[in-house]
Amino acid sequence: MTTPLVRIRDLQVDYTRRRRHVPAVRGVDLDIAPGEIVAVVGESGSGKTTIANTIIGLLPENARTRGGSVEVAGPDGPVEVVGAKEPDLRALRGSVVGLVPQDPMVGLNPTQRIGAQVGEAVRLRGVKGDAVADAVQTYLKQAGIDDPELRARQYPHELSGGLRQRVLIAIALAGEPRLIIADEPTSALDVTVQATILDHLESLVRKSGTSLLIITHDLAVAADRADQVVVLSEGKVVERGAPDEILVAPEDPYTRRLIAAAPGLAHGGRIEPRHELADTDVATSDPVIRLEGVSKSYPLPGGAGTFAALDDVSLQVAKGRTHALVGESGSGKTTTLRIALGLEQPDSGRVVLKGTDITGKGWRQTRPLRRTVQIVHQNPYASLDPRFTIGQTIAEPLVSFKVGDRRSRAARVAELLDQVSLPASYAERLPAELSGGQRQRVAIARALTLEPEVVLLDEPVSALDVSVQEQILDLLAELQERLGLSYLFISHDLAVVAQVAHTVSVMSRGRVVESGAVSSVFGAPQSEHTRALIDAIPGRISARRREVVHA
Amino acid sequence: MKRYVLSRLAQAVGVLFAAFTVTFAVLYLLPSDPVALQLGAAGIETDKLTDTQLEAAKAQYGLDRPVAEQYLSTLGGFVSGDLGTSIAKQQPVAGLIGDRLGPTISLSLAAGALSLLVGTGLAYLASYVRWRPARLVLSRLPSLGASFPQFFIGLVAIQLFAFQLGWLPATGSRGPESLLLPAVTISVLTSSLLAQVLMRSFDETLSQPYVVTARAKGLSRAAVQWRHGFRNAILPAMTILGLLVGLTVTSAIVVETVFARNGVGKLAQESVLSQDVPVVLAIVTLAAAIFVLVNLVVDLLYPLLDPRIVQLPRKVAVR
């Protein structure tokens, strides 16, 4: 075997938090061969990003490498990164190890043109003059950007998330590194964009012989592309091997849990809806909430006409069922939700809540009815007031609607905490003391405080780790059964939708392109758009690959 | 872009008009008798006048007209450049201010330039230095500078540099060397405020993910801070620039008094003491005009520094 590009032995890294040392990486060994694609999989806090940051010498200030060795093959032989001085590390960055960071929306300097930002990386290789601009075009094109000349002159805010991620890939390519680290490179993007970008990155490195280190929490994403998968848990490697071996015969219970939690992997890449519903049962006579021919448009900046956010959208949520709304960002999911909640008025069409038309009615008039509709937001880190205790947060709707006194409110809080499987003692805690999954439980409890009939769920699990997602989805299903709730569930992830929804509407550019029972829409998709969404589910590639192997 | 400039211009005019009106209202609609107040400024004791003499005196200064009429004629005068006549000095206000404007403008410019230089430099250095003790000292300096009152700094400076060391003149407004002490006195406060805002802004900017991107390219820390940190860090600090200039103007009153400089600040102090309402009105309006002008310049500079700004005002509600 050739000498590895990166050779990690017994790496140990601590973080100092409030004067305490918290171990993040505890004795990890890892080799990356030239041209190899390695995926490190684990939940947040498993230490996977710390490993990546160690390789590129960009650990945060409160991190301390306690032991071990990380050798990176520099131009003049291996360089020991642990304990290295800044100039030595800088010589590796960009030219030997490139980085594609996690969130494309904030990964680019907002006040510098795209061309300048890519050009900077080109210049660091010693390229000068006109050659820089040419090289910038080449890398942008390589990263899959169609109109590199135009894009180079634009600022980051003028580009979509997918394009920005491609720019970040171009920046990494511009250093002509031997290894590219992709740290959760697409988790902030739409599924369909995610798939194309990862495919593109993979084909790029395969063609040029560059090594790729994918850092991800999604085993399915890893399995689809990597030569070697390393599963990390609490700073230790619990399993490693070729993706097919790991998926077929996982040895560690943690890996098994990850596989079970990845909806795309669990059923061999096929979507298996949890709820079967005959097409004849889709429509009900008394839906809890109904949107009829709703349209909404917004003026474009600079008076350049209007943008149709919603165009003749109709849907209904049946009592005790879950209706899912799927589509990419910008397809109108959130606008639909805001109109259903009465936060915005439609230009035309009606919103009927429990048989009452609430369109055009004032906030005050519909307030009593509004108790029956509650919402759970996407990001549990942003939706809870950091200065409110959990108890205050959950009790706030009661205070706002003047229900009960202090004692009855406290009792209700305890009851709700129990319903979402949190200890009653959590009422005294602050959000900062809770994990993401626990916070989302609190957000769900808050939505349930006023005993609503409909809960609007806006991507309730997309900010969470895969294994936590599973738990929250189970909780939602259990609450639905116990309390007879109806859900309007917004998601871009079809695998998640299949797990929870009875019926579904697929949206694209403000229109509903397909709708019906989940089993029939996903089983026999009629529109191009639905098919693209289904193809983008991670895990399908490896599942298909395995079928070929086993056939 | 054109729309942006026009809207900012309209806003500036509106603010200026409001400032004039509020000042006028405060000065003329005070619970005291504005007539007695102003005639007192002219050295006329209203108690000792007969009714006819009082009427004549009122008529002489235009104080017999209704307040609304006085307001309109004063406003008209201001628009056409006539700032009225000082009651105490019996001279045109425009001339009075004009004579004193030179020293104040040079003081404000010197203090402003010094504050920008020192404030920015301090913040830049504090966020660049890695050595903890130095970093700590640098980051604490602004709070220290902001906590001394200006008259105190001025007096200490005079004591030290003029009387003890004899390097610089203690008072007067002649020559550039007389400018140094008062300018430093003003800029201790203003540069401290600027540095405080900038330091936070640098901290925030340098912890942004795009800084990681820049470092991962292989740029040195110095290059990252200069090319990616600086421009983004000064954006939030721009908003307090107008405030700082306003502070320089008000500081001029105190500092010109301490250093016996013959500027507008001193004129303002004298006019307030002698209750010379037309002069006070003109000076306050002038200060407001400078404040508005600086904010206008800042607003017009914004889109040049931050490409996102022109698109912001009318945002489409699409996530």
pLDDT at position A548 is 55
SS3 content of chain A, % helix, strand, coil (to 5): 40, 25, 35
Q: Mention every residue, 6+ apart, whose C-beta is less than 8 A from residue B21.
A: B71
Q: Mention every residue, 6+ apart, whose C-beta is less than 8 A from residue A272.
A: A498
Residue B192 has pLDDT above 60, yes or no: yes
**How far apart are alpha carbons A305 and A527 in whole angstroms?**
29
Q: Mind telling me how many Å the CA of B282 is from chain A's nearest CA?
A: 40
- Assess B166–A contact: CB distance below 8 Å, yes or no: no
Neighbours of A37 (CB within 10 A): 23
Closest C-alpha to B175, from B251, B268, B110: B110
Closest C-alpha to A107, from A169, A49, A52: A169
Q: How far is CA A382 from the centre of its chain?
A: 15
Chain A residue with Cα closest to B210: A107
- Assess B31–A contact: CB distance below 8 Å, yes or no: no
pLDDT at position A541 is 66
CATH code linked to domain B93-164+171-238: 1.10.3720.10
Residues of B within 8 A of A327 (CB-CB) are none
Residues of A engaging B, defined by a Cβ cutoff of 8 Å: 56, 58, 86, 90-95, 97-99, 101-103, 106-112, 117, 120-121, 124, 155, 157, 168, 171-172, 174-175, 298-302, 307, 309, 329-330, 334-335
Q: Domain-by-domain residue ranges, chain B?
A: 1-88+274-319, 93-164+171-238
Q: Do A110 and B315 touch (CB under 8 A)?
A: no
Q: Do A110 and B227 touch (CB under 8 A)?
A: no
**How far apart are alpha carbons B169 and A241 in whole angstroms?**
81
pLDDT at position A210 is 92
Q: Give the Å distances, CA to CA, from B268 to A283, B97, B189.
A: 79, 9, 21
Total number of residues shown for chain A: 551
Q: Mind telling me how many Å the CA of A458 is from chain B's nearest CA?
A: 12
Quick one: pLDDT band at residue B313, thresholds 50, 70, 90?
Answer: very low
Q: Mind telling me how many Å the CA of B306 is from chain A's nearest CA?
A: 6
Q: Mind telling me how many Å the CA of B247 is from chain A's nearest CA?
A: 29
- Report the DSSP pairing between strands A322-326 and A503-508: parallel
Chain B residue with Cα closest to A301: B314
**How far apart are alpha carbons B237 and B232 in whole angstroms?**
10
SS (H, E, C) A196-243: HHHHHHHHHHHHHCCEEEEEECCHHHHHHHCCEEEEEECCEEEEEECH
Amino acid at site A285? S
Percent of chain B with pLDDT over 70: 90
Tell me if A538 sits within 8 A of A236, measured CB to CB. Answer: no
pLDDT at position B41 is 66
Q: Mention every residue, 6+ apart, whose C-beta is less than 8 A from residue B159.
A: none
Q: Do B210 and A107 touch (CB under 8 A)?
A: yes
The minimal CB distance from B305 to the residues A102, A108, A111 is found for: A111
Q: Do B217 and A329 touch (CB under 8 A)?
A: no
Q: From the candidates B127, B205, B210, which should be mutated to test the interface with A, based on the most A CB atoms within 10 A?
A: B210
- Assess B151–A contact: CB distance below 8 Å, yes or no: no
Q: Do A111 and B235 touch (CB under 8 A)?
A: yes
Residues of A within 8 A of B214 (CB-CB) are 109, 120
Q: What are phi and psi of A289, to 5 degrees?
A: -140, 140
Residue whose structure tokens are 């006194």: A405
pLDDT at position B252 is 81
Interface confidence, given as ipTM, is 0.76
The end-to-end CA distance of chain B, in Å, is: 24
Chain A residue with Cα closest to B313: A301
Q: Mind telling me how many Å the CA of A23 is from chain B's nearest CA?
A: 22
pLDDT at position A308 is 83
**How far apart are alpha carbons A483 and B7 in whole angstroms?**
54
Q: What are phi and psi of A534, to 5 degrees?
A: -65, -40
**How far apart are alpha carbons B168 and B248 in whole angstroms?**
22
Tell me if A275 sits within 8 A of A501, measured CB to CB. Answer: yes
Q: Mention every residue, 6+ apart, whose C-beta is less than 8 A from residue B95.
A: none
**How far apart are alpha carbons A30 and A43 in whole angstroms?**
18
- Assess B318–A contact: CB distance below 8 Å, yes or no: yes
pLDDT at position B315 is 39
Question: 3-state class of A145 per DSSP?
Answer: coil
A286-372+454-551 belongs to CATH 3.40.50.300: yes
Taking only the tens place, the pLDDT of each residue in A133-144 is: 999 999 999 888
Q: Please, what's the b/e burial string for B263-280 (b: 16 or more CB within 10 A of its CB; e: otherwise)?
A: bbbbbbbbbeebbbbbbb
pLDDT at position A301 is 61
Average pLDDT over residues B72-95: 84
Q: Give the Å distances, CA to CA, from A548 to A94, A268, B319.
A: 39, 12, 41
Closest C-alpha to A157, from B222, B62, B315: B315
> Where would I find the H helices in A371-465?
390-400, 406-419, 436-448
- Assess B203–A contact: CB distance below 8 Å, yes or no: no
Task: Name the DSSP class of B127.
Answer: H
The tokens of B39 are what? 């005639």
Q: How far is CA A56 from the centre of its chain?
A: 24
Return the number of CB contacts < 8 Å for A and B: 101
Topology given in CATH for the domain delimited by A1-96+180-261 = Rossmann fold (3.40.50)
Strand partners, A237: A232
Residues of B within 8 A of A106 (CB-CB) are 208-210
Q: Mention every residue, 6+ apart, whose C-beta is less than 8 A from residue B213.
A: A99, A101, A107, A108, A109, A117, A168, A171
Tell me if B196 sits within 8 A of B127, measured CB to CB. Answer: no
The minimal CB distance from B216 to the residues A93, A111, A157 is found for: A93
Q: Mind telling me how many Å the CA of B230 is from chain A's nearest CA?
A: 11
Chain A residue with Cα closest to B207: A60
pLDDT at position B306 is 84
Taking only the tens place, the pLDDT of each residue in A318-330 is: 999 999 999 887 7
**How far apart are alpha carbons A120 and B20 in whole angstroms?**
51
The tokens of A92 are what? 């590796």
Residues of B within 8 A of A180 (CB-CB) are none
**How far apart are alpha carbons A250 and A256 in whole angstroms?**
6
**What does each of the 551 residues of chain A score in pLDDT, given as a tens digit?**
568 899 999 999 998 877 788 888 999 999 999 999 999 998 877 888 899 999 999 888 888 898 899 999 988 888 999 988 888 999 999 999 999 988 888 899 999 999 999 999 999 988 888 899 999 999 999 888 888 998 999 999 888 888 898 999 999 999 999 999 998 876 667 777 777 888 888 988 899 889 999 998 888 888 888 999 999 988 999 999 998 888 888 888 888 887 777 666 655 555 677 777 777 777 777 888 999 999 998 876 656 677 788 999 999 999 999 999 998 877 888 889 888 888 888 999 999 988 888 887 777 777 888 788 999 988 888 889 989 999 999 999 999 888 888 899 999 999 999 999 899 889 998 888 888 888 999 999 999 999 999 999 998 887 787 778 888 899 999 999 999 999 999 988 888 888 889 999 999 888 999 999 988 888 888 888 888 888 777 776 666 665 655 54
Q: Mind telling me how many Å the CA of B88 is from chain A's nearest CA?
A: 54
- Assess B213–A contact: CB distance below 8 Å, yes or no: yes
The minimal CB distance from A94 to the residues B216, B232, B308 is found for: B216
- Assess B307–A contact: CB distance below 8 Å, yes or no: yes
**How far apart are alpha carbons A263 and A534 in whole angstroms?**
12
Q: Do A107 and B213 touch (CB under 8 A)?
A: yes
Q: Do B210 and A103 touch (CB under 8 A)?
A: no
Question: Which helix H or strand E contains A367, and what residues bound it?
Answer: helix A363-370
Q: Do B216 and A56 touch (CB under 8 A)?
A: yes
Q: From the candidates A99, A111, A124, A190, which should be mutated to test the interface with B, based on the most B CB atoms within 10 A?
A: A111
**How far apart are alpha carbons A328 and A460 in whole angstroms?**
15
**How far apart are alpha carbons A545 and B302 in whole angstroms?**
54
